[in-house]
Amino acid sequence: MTDLEQNKRNVKAFYEMMFNDCQPRLAIETYTGAEYIQHNPHVISGKKGFIAYFEKMAAEYPGKRVVVKRAFADGDHVILHCHQIWPEGLEYAGIDIFRLDEAGKIVEHWDVLQELPDHSAHANGMF
């Protein structure tokens, strides 16, 4: 039976290690299954493509941060609602969707990003 809370912990730890700790190789080694399917069109699918992309990002953007605002689990999927904070004031609201295998390892990823606007038609915020 799927442990939804453990799956959320695994995905959040993966994201923290990969993005904030700038250790994508260790994140892949620790938290992914036999395969890693990527749907982000900027990242080559597979573990090697992920590592190369995020090692380059870590080198080019020191100080970038992500804050997980919410995590949802449903079956073998975990969804994160995140606030990405980049150097020089650029910020994004992001949704990351992960599929996990029976062992709680990440095997697939989708994401959608939206730049935080300077102005909004309401005061509700993005988070």
Contacts of 51 (CB under 8 A, 6+ apart): 24, 25, 28
Percent of the chain residues past pLDDT 70, beyond the cut: 99
Domains and CATH numbers, the chain: 4-115 (3.10.450.50)
Q: Angle at CA 40, nearest 5°, toward 36 and 43? A: 70
Averaged pLDDT, 105-127: 95
List the one residue out of 40, 48, 37, 25 whose CA is nearest residue 101: 37
pLDDT surpassing 70 at residue 1: no
Q: What does the pLDDT look like over 48-95, one tens digit per residue?
A: 999 999 999 999 998 999 999 999 999 999 999 999 999 988 999 999
- Please tell me the pTM assigned to this model: 0.93
